[in-house]
């Protein structure tokens, strides 16, 4: 069974239709890149994969379980098998780097302190942050925060790793080192890795398959080579960084200029806080 199965996923923010009939599967041991421009729905899709949002319709199965129907305890158990490297790092600023990385092991396992300490320092070695355990997050550079976030995301050796914009805001050399890290993790640990990115160079370097999202729809889902060779004009526009002029809805445009809002326009989707 594939570790991620999304079927006919629809979601709305108020009246706005954000994801439209999205279906995809992530295979065991593959690096699956979700790519698209700003506002394409890729972050919303990631939040659904993490079980942070409930869909209007459709289903999301993670490691064989419907993440929207399982109970709170089962979801907590499921999340111990998932790692997430957030775009901002999301490290706890009041805790040292080492304590941030050790936190999942302390919360979810009964391993003794010696083992937790070794595993924590092992992960710091893997992300090339050896010796940084005692520093505070505020003492790290942007690239180091990303790598520390990776270390925390993999500290439980998850079956599934999610990475949100791993190379965003990094210089090309550091971004390339993050790409290499993702490839090494997959090869060594056999993880299935889902990467959300708008960085084309990174996507084509690491992806086994790429899902191109556009305006909430799956525009294409194929191997990196097939995506690159696609004759689809919208895909080529994305790959060649050509802008597309958005179609204008005159009514909506005038309402925006006059400061009139649709009801529910800013309504947030239902969030799952469990």
Which residues contact another protein (rule: CB under 8 A)? 109-112, 114-115, 118-119, 122-123, 125-126, 155-157, 184-185, 187-190
Q: How far is the CB of 199 from another protein (least distance, A)?
A: 24
- Comparing CB distances to another protein, the nearer of 12 and 121 is 121
- Comparing CB distances to another protein, the nearer of 6 and 151 is 151
Q: How far is the CB of 155 from another protein (least distance, A)?
A: 7
- With H, G, I as helix, E, B as strand and everything else as coil, classify residue 241: coil
Q: How far is the CB of 208 from another protein (least distance, A)?
A: 18
Q: How far is the CB of 157 from another protein (least distance, A)?
A: 4
* Token pair of 71 as six digits: 């109970």
Q: What is the residue whose two structure tokens read 């990631």?
A: 46
Number of Cβ atoms within 10 Å of the Cβ of 253: 10
Torsion of CA 163, 154, 24, 237, to 10 degrees: 20
- Comparing CB distances to another protein, the nearer of 130 and 252 is 130
Distance separating alpha carbons of residues 28 and 63, to the nearest angstrom: 10
- Comparing CB distances to another protein, the nearer of 185 and 221 is 185
Per the CB < 8 A criterion, the answer to whether 78 and 160 are in contact is no
* Closest C-alpha to 179, from 159, 155, 199: 199
- Comparing CB distances to another protein, the nearer of 108 and 255 is 108
Which residues does 27 contact at the CB level (< 8 Å), separation at least 6? 2, 3, 192, 208, 209
Task: Say which DSSP state 245 is in.
Answer: P
- Comparing CB distances to another protein, the nearer of 24 and 148 is 148
* Token pair of 44 as six digits: 């919303």
Q: How far is the CB of 154 from another protein (least distance, A)?
A: 8
* Token pair of 258 as six digits: 């006059």
Per the CB < 8 A criterion, the answer to whether 95 and 123 are in contact is no
- Comparing CB distances to another protein, the nearer of 46 and 161 is 161
Q: How far is the CB of 116 from another protein (least distance, A)?
A: 8
Q: How far is the CB of 74 from another protein (least distance, A)?
A: 18
């Amino acid at each position: 069974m594939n570790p991620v199965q999304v079927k006919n996923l629809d979601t709305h923010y108020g009246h706005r239709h954000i994801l439209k009939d999205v279906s995809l599967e992530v295979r065991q041991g593959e690096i699956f890149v979700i790519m698209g421009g700003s506002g394409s729905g890729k972050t919303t899709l990631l939040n659904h994969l993490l079980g942070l949002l409930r869909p209007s319709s459709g289903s999301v199965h993670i490691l064989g379980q419907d993440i929207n129907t399982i109970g709170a305890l089962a979801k907590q158990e499921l999340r111990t098998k998932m790692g997430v490297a957030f775009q901002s790092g999301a490290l706890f600023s009041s805790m040292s780097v080492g304590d941030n990385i050790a936190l999942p092991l302390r919360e979810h396992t009964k391993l003794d302190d010696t083992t937790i300490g070794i595993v924590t320092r092992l992960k710091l070695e893997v992300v090339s942050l050896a010796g940084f355990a005692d520093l505070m997050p505020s003492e790290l550079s942007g690239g180091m925060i990303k790598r520390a976030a990776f270390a925390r995301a993999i500290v439980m050796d998850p079956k599934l790793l999610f990475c949100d914009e791993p190379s965003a805001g990094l210089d090309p050399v550091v971004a390339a080192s993050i790409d290499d890290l993702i490839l090494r993790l997959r090869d060594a640990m056999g993880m299935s890795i889902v990467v959300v990115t708008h960085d084309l160079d990174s996507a084509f370097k690491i992806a086994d398959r790429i899902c191109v999202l556009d305006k909430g729809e799956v525009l294409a889902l194929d191997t990196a080579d097939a995506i690159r060779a696609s004759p689809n004009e919208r895909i080529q526009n994305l790959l060649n960084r050509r802008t597309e002029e958005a179609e204008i809805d005159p009514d909506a445009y005038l309402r925006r200029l006059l400061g009139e809002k649709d009801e529910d326009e800013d309504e947030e989707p239902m969030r799952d806080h469990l």
